Structure 1
């Protein structure tokens, strides 16, 4: 070791880094950490400490744990010294327990587990944050094998359980905190999600983000109390964001927003906001209910019925309605979402309160709307009036360089074949991505948008 240290110390730092990057990180740390100040500083670089593989790959593709001397050195000296730098650990199951308990890992966000002994592994964890492909995987996690688990946060790609084979109805008495987030439509709310939640009888904290389809009625306060809250005697914090989409079939007495809000009149948790919309052309109705303050980073399908508020965490929104969005609506959006970076608009209805000149605008005393953080704008599914709304500088002021998705023909019409001078200030800040045949834009478009 001394001879090796002398040899390495004669090399410049740059050459040392090139050499050490060619070696296994586990060998670099095992051999050089603590040898001297210079080497100690070099091998503590994030390149060697952020992601550690503490196991041995054999030439025949088998995986083995570290030898006892290596494992002793890592657990007693190396890991306690670099624990705050470690973000990912690849571990072999037989040595996993000792490595996990060697120190705390405040910045660790992931494990790779190999030669997995399921029962041993699952007994270690009391808290899990997982991203899963299907809701089935969530049910597998809660089939009883995680007997120490008290906190589970699940992000699931899809909730579709037609092939489900699990029918476990046993209670989950140790689970205290549960969150389930899915941004895809689910038709299995009543059949699978509600029964799972009813197994969590001792839950203290619950967080749901769901898009529910296939029901005849909206999910409202009465349903939440009947099917969820009344089954959780220990529940003291309940946050949610649930959008219900129903098909309209000539129903009468459809609930209004006031009706939905009334179902939360004695709700003891957070302030609850509801928004009900009906879309006759699409033959659909939607009801969004959420606990306020709003915590998600996105807010979808905002309509004219939007109830205002302040959403400091939201940076991505979509706007949708079968009624036109007027200038005042965009002002409300800018005030409620001051930090939005991405805006997508779906509306093919023309505006009815159009502002054609700067003087007319001033006469109505409407302020210029500002989106100071906007960097992405999608108006592919928008009427020409909304393209104009964002191009004319005395309607909306743009601060940043913005990637602008739009169809070529309406853009040409709005700019009057790219000769209209009143739109040029905002156009200097837009990089349009136009749908135009083979995506080869004419030169006059590039001249009109100099950032392109």
Structure 2
């Protein structure tokens, strides 16, 4: 089931959504296994009824402020779905242009990895205007972005070091890693140490990688 609109204030869209939430969803709620929706509609749709068989959730254009609110151990969303969702696909709509947003994004990612106990498939995408090049995970505990359930991860990263951190064992069940890597900023400094890389069958795909010349 897909619910999309680029205009949250569109009166026609709101009228349709109201009818959908009030009249239709309560009748089919026990048959809904997958939801795809714009983040602005998430509260209304999830509050409309109970989704006992919802396993896959796709959220489009999710703002960081809203992500902090819903991916919180005390939020009703997590209380209901932390053991139920097995496939989560997110597109972050905010531009990541400063250090505060980098820290916020890292915190949100860490919460997602830790809060969903039965999550198998995770897809984390973001705005194309990432302006930072430093690693998100450097200096953080090895329990950051840790999961014993995720087997398939697709993620947008900016620094090759983060890709290596994700392969150090913190994702113990991972068998497929798909990376959208914008730049390898310093290829000469890359050091792959086999003792730090998980040693089981792993399929790694790099969607996009560009080398940035050294000055």
Question: Normalization by structure 1: what TM-score?
Answer: 0.30
Counterpart-to-counterpart distance in 2, 1:219 and 1:204: 22
Counterpart-to-counterpart distance in 2, 1:204 and 1:170: 18
> 1:335 offset after TM fit, Å?
0.5
Q: CA RMSD in A?
A: 5.2
Task: Pick from 292, 310, 324 the counterpart of residue 147 of structure 2.
Answer: 310
> 1:381 offset after TM fit, Å?
1.7
Task: Pick from 38, 45, 50 the counterpart of residue 196 of structure 1.
Answer: 45
Counterpart-to-counterpart distance in 1, 2:96 and 2:146: 33
Which residue of the partner structure matches residue 46 of structure 1? none
Cα displacement string for residues 92-118 of structure 1 (whole angstroms, at most 9, x for unaligned residues): xxxxxxxxxxxxxxxxxxxxxxxxxxx
By percentage of residues, which structure has more strand? Answer: 1
| Gap change, CA 1:381 and 1:197, over 3 Å in 2 | closer
Counterpart-to-counterpart distance in 2, 1:380 and 1:204: 35
Q: Which has the larger radius of gyration?
A: 1
Which residue of the partner structure matches residue 19 of structure 2? 167
User: Does the 8 Å contact 1:314/1:339 carry over to 2?
Assistant: yes
Task: Pick from 179, 197, 214 the counterpart of residue 345 of structure 1.
Answer: 179
Question: Normalization by structure 2: what TM-score?
Answer: 0.54
| Gap change, CA 1:209 and 1:298, over 3 Å in 2 | same
The number of aligned residues is 183
* Higher RCO (CA-CA < 8 Å; seq separation 6+): 2
2:163 matches 1:320: no
Which residue of the partner structure matches residue 14 of structure 1? none
Task: Pick from 92, 96, 111 the counterpart of residue 245 of structure 1.
Answer: 92
Gaps of 5+ in 1: 1-133, 135-157, 262-273, 277-287, 356-360, 386-452
Gaps of 5+ in 2: 6-12, 126-133, 138-143
Cα displacement string for residues 64-85 of structure 1 (whole angstroms, at most 9, x for unaligned residues): xxxxxxxxxxxxxxxxxxxxxx
User: Does the 8 Å contact 2:89/2:124 carry over to 1?
Assistant: no
Cα displacement string for residues 238-265 of structure 1 (whole angstroms, at most 9, x for unaligned residues): 325573522339899759439x96xxxx
2:148 matches 1:300: no
